[in-house]
Amino acid sequence: MNDKIQVGIIGGAGYTGGELLRLLINHPFVNVSFVQSNSQAGKPVWTIHSDLLGDTDLEFSAPADADDELDLDVIFLCSGHGASHTFMAEHDISDDVAIIDLSADFRDEHDDFVYGLPELNRDRIAEATRIANPGCFATSIQLALLPLAKAGLLQGDIHVSAITGSTGAGQALVPTTGFTWRNNNVSIYKAFTHQHLAEIRQSLTQLDPDFGKAINFVPYRGDYTRGIMANVYTPFTGTIDEAKDLYQRYYEDHPFTHLSHMPIDLKQVVNTNKCLLHLEVHDGQLLITSIIDNLTKGASGQAVQNMNLIFGLPEETGLRLKAVAF
C-alpha cells in the first residue's frame, strides 16, 4: 500500500484501547490520527498506557476534538457496551469509513454489521464496512466448536468450563478485580447465563441450521491477568485421528488457529493473536481445549485482523507477536 490507513480510536483509555494502540502504532500500514477519551482528554497516551512511553507522542483528544477528525479510513469503537449504539446514532459516518466495534452492541448483526470472527466470516468481513468484533469467551469457545458445526457433528449437549484473567472484566476497579480479592482465588460467575452464549449459538446455527442442543457454560474468574482457557466437551462417535483430521482441514487456511498434538497451556498464547486447540476422545466424548489471549485474539488483535481483511492486507500484518512463555 502506498498510503497508510488513517485510524481513529473512540474510548482509547481502557484495556482494549491500549492494546489497539500497542498494535497499531507498530503496524506498517497504519497511521493513528487520534485517540479519544472522555476521562483522559489532553493527557499524553503514555501516562495511561505506560508501556507506550517512548513509542508515541499521541495525546488523548476530547469528544468534540474527535468529532472534527472523522475524515478517516477506519474507526475503532472501544467505549464499552451501550456506548457504540449511542456513537452511531449521534454521528453521520460515511459508508466509506469502516467501523469496527469492540462492544456487544451489534453482535447480532443488525444495522448492517457483520460478525467479525474471521474463521467463520472471512469473506463477508472482507466486503464489509461495519464489523462487530466477537466477545473473548465467545471467540475461544466458537473456535473449539466450528469444525463440528460445519460437519453437522454437534449431536448432543455442549458442556463448557472456561477461565479468564482479570483484564476480561475491564479497567474499572470493582471488588472482583482487585488484587487482594483476586490473588490466590477462583470463583464462578454468570453460570449458564453468560451474555456470550447468544453469539455462540448464532454462529453454530449459521453453520448448522438444525443445531438446537443445550450449551452449558460455566465461566470462572482466574487469579491472573490475561488469557482464556476453555474446556469444551460434547458427544463424538469418531476416533481421535478423525477428530484431528476434521480440525486440521477446517483451519488449514486460517493463520492464527492451530491444532497442538501436545497438551497446551495459557503462556503459549499470552500477548499473541493465536488460538491453540488440543483434542482428546474419552468414552464417546470429544474434549476440546481452546486457549487465547482475551485482549488480543479475544479483542484488539482480532479487531486489527478484521481491519487487515477489509483493506486487502494479509491477515497476519502487524500481528506476528511473540508469546510471553517465560
With bands split at pLDDT 50, 70 and 90, how would you rate the model's confidence at 143?
very high
**Residues forming beta bridges with residue 34, ordered by sequence position:** 8
User: Is the Cα torsion angle 321, 323, 324, 326 positive or negative in sign?
Assistant: negative
With bands split at pLDDT 50, 70 and 90, how would you rate the model's confidence at 36?
very high
Q: Is 78 an active-site residue?
A: no
pLDDT in tens, 163-213: 999 887 565 556 677 777 778 999 999 999 989 999 999 999 999 999 999
- Separation of alpha carbons 197 and 205, rounded Å: 12
Q: Is the pLDDT of residue 123 over 80?
A: yes
With bands split at pLDDT 50, 70 and 90, how would you rate the model's confidence at 26?
very high
- Separation of alpha carbons 175 and 289, rounded Å: 29
Contacts of 194 (CB under 8 A, 6+ apart): 137, 217, 219
Neighbouring CB atoms inside 10 A of 206's CB total 17
The overall average pLDDT reported for the chain is 94
User: C-alpha dihedral over 279, 280, 281, 283, to 10 degrees?
Assistant: -140
Q: Phi, psi (5° rounding) for residue 3? A: -105, 140
With bands split at pLDDT 50, 70 and 90, how would you rate the model's confidence at 274?
very high
* Sequence-separated contacts (24+) of 236-244 with Cβ below 8 Å: 236/148, 236/153, 236/281, 236/284, 236/285, 236/286, 237/155, 237/284, 238/153, 238/281, 238/286, 239/281, 240/279, 240/280, 240/281, 243/279, 243/281, 243/286, 244/279
Answer for the pair 296, 314: CB distance below 8 angstroms, yes or no.
no
DSSP per-residue letters across 120-164: HHHHHHHT-SEEEPPPHHHHHHHHHHHHHHHTT---S-EEEEEEE
Active-site option among 136, 259, 264, 292: 136
Task: Give the cell for residue 196.
Answer: 456470550
**Residues forming beta bridges with residue 9, ordered by sequence position:** 35, 76
Q: Give the burial class of 245: count Cβ atoms within 10 A of its Cβ; 0-12 exposed, 13-18 middle, 19 or more buried.
A: middle
**Residues forming beta bridges with residue 279, ordered by sequence position:** 288
Average pLDDT over residues 96-117: 97
With bands split at pLDDT 50, 70 and 90, how would you rate the model's confidence at 65?
low
Choice between 179 and 67, residue whose per-residue pLDDT is larger: 179
Name the 3-class secondary structure at 34. Answer: strand
DSSP state at residue 307: H
Q: What percent of the chain has pLDDT over 70?
A: 94
